[in-house]
Amino acid sequence: MSTEQPQSPFETISETELSREDRYRQLFNGYVGTPFRIIWTDWRARLGLAIISSFLLMGTVGVSLFDPPRASEGPLLLGAFQSWAFPLGTDSLGRGILGQIVYATPAMLKMITAGALFATTMATGWGLFAGYKGGTIDRLMMSFVDVLMTIPGLPLVVVLAAILEPRNPYLVGIILTINGWAGFARQLRAEVLKLRQNSYVEASRTMGISTFSIITKDILPNVMPLIVVSFVTRARNVIIASVGLYFLGILPSSTLNWGLMLNSAYTSGGIYSPEQAHWLYAPMITIVLLSLGLLLFAQGCDRIFNPRIRARHAKKSENESSDDASFHGETM
């Protein structure tokens, strides 16, 4: 054992060493475990998470539980809650409505994931980089974002959909958020402008750590909650836009789809005749439920992670307050 003292604190070697397993456990706790436990304390987030999970289950396990719906598998236009084989009734071709809703879920989930992932990645990369770099690069990048933000989203998507005729759900998801990420990129940049003058960022910079490392290690963790909330909000926008466009028949479709169900129920006279009403209700309630789940989850997360509200939260522990400062006019 050496009795020599290390010359400077930078040369000290830690006395304990973390095993690989410990490190992974710490990472897991930091990024998944603890946030999850915090989220779980808010009823909004809990309910939202429950709804989202049930949709995820429906899209994965649910599909294998029964056969895909086909024409004349049951009586025509059977009402809801009248038979065990077709709990939600059947449509005018005798297809089970519950089956159609379940079988439409996987494509919907793919679309939502692709869209939300694309938009969030673009916005995060763009916003963090522009905000951290500043100067001319920032101005150029933000001018691009401003142009993108001004182009109305839905008409642009309609035009693109009409020309490209996307059928792949992943592609549809990306087209639906083609300019939907711009607003969030701007918001993130504003956040980074505040963060980048913190002393620990400055310390990293003086130590000569690369821009990429500073952005991912020092800045990104601070804006992670914002990113999660935006991801969920974006997912909600994708689902609302896609169902709306499928309902209009602007997006071409070969698979089952809630918007398409809504369209067939609507055009075959669901709003005139009461015996078809159940056919119209089912997809409508499904969309509203998923949308509600995502909204509740986003609000719950926002309430817990938003630093401004978190402070309030700690002060007056359990008062019913929600804050939606991050909710700018982004829904369509």
Binding site for other proteins (CB under 8 A): 44, 142-143, 146-147, 149-156, 158-160, 162-164, 183, 186, 189-190, 193-194, 197, 236, 240, 243-245, 247-250, 262, 266, 271-272, 280, 284, 287-288, 291-292, 294-296, 299, 308-309, 312, 319-325, 327-332
Q: Which residue, among 192, 161, 97, has the nearest Cα to 201 in the 3D structure?
A: 192
15: which 2 tokens? 């006395």
Q: Which is nearer to other proteins, 86 or 246 (CB)?
A: 246
Q: Which is nearer to other proteins, 86 or 88 (CB)?
A: 88
| Concatenated DSSP letters of 153-183 | HHHHHHHHHHHH---SHHHHHHHHTTTTTHH
Q: Which is nearer to other proteins, 155 or 208 (CB)?
A: 155
Q: Which residues pair with 96 in a beta bridge?
A: 90
Residue 109's identity, in one-letter code, is: L
Q: In angstroms, what CA-CA distances link 142 with 115, 128, 135, 193, 311?
A: 22, 11, 11, 13, 31
Distant-in-sequence contacts of 153-161, Cβ < 8 A, 24+ apart: 153/178, 153/179, 153/180, 153/241, 153/332, 154/241, 154/244, 154/332, 157/241, 157/245, 158/245, 158/250, 161/245, 161/250, 161/251, 161/252
**Shortest gap between Cβ of 150 and other proteins (angstroms)?**
5
Q: Which is nearer to other proteins, 109 or 296 (CB)?
A: 296
Q: Which is nearer to other proteins, 77 or 332 (CB)?
A: 332
Q: Which is nearer to other proteins, 95 or 196 (CB)?
A: 196
**Shortest gap between Cβ of 26 and other proteins (angstroms)?**
33
**Shortest gap between Cβ of 30 and other proteins (angstroms)?**
28
**Shortest gap between Cβ of 98 and other proteins (angstroms)?**
19
**Shortest gap between Cβ of 203 and other proteins (angstroms)?**
19
| Concatenated DSSP letters of 274-295 | GGGHHHHHHHHHHHHHHHHHHH
Q: Containing H/E element for 263? A: helix 258-267
The 8-class DSSP code of residue 11 comes to G
Q: Which is nearer to other proteins, 234 or 236 (CB)?
A: 236
Backbone angles phi, psi at 96, to 5 degrees: -65, 135
Residue 325's identity, in one-letter code, is: A
**Shortest gap between Cβ of 264 and other proteins (angstroms)?**
13
State the Cα–Cα distance between residues 165 and 172, nearest whole angstrom: 9
Half-sphere CA count of 134, side-chain side, radius 13 A = 9
**Shortest gap between Cβ of 201 and other proteins (angstroms)?**
13
Q: Which is nearer to other proteins, 23 or 328 (CB)?
A: 328
**Shortest gap between Cβ of 316 and other proteins (angstroms)?**
10
Q: Which is nearer to other proteins, 27 or 147 (CB)?
A: 147
Q: Containing H/E element for 45? A: helix 43-57
**Shortest gap between Cβ of 232 and other proteins (angstroms)?**
12
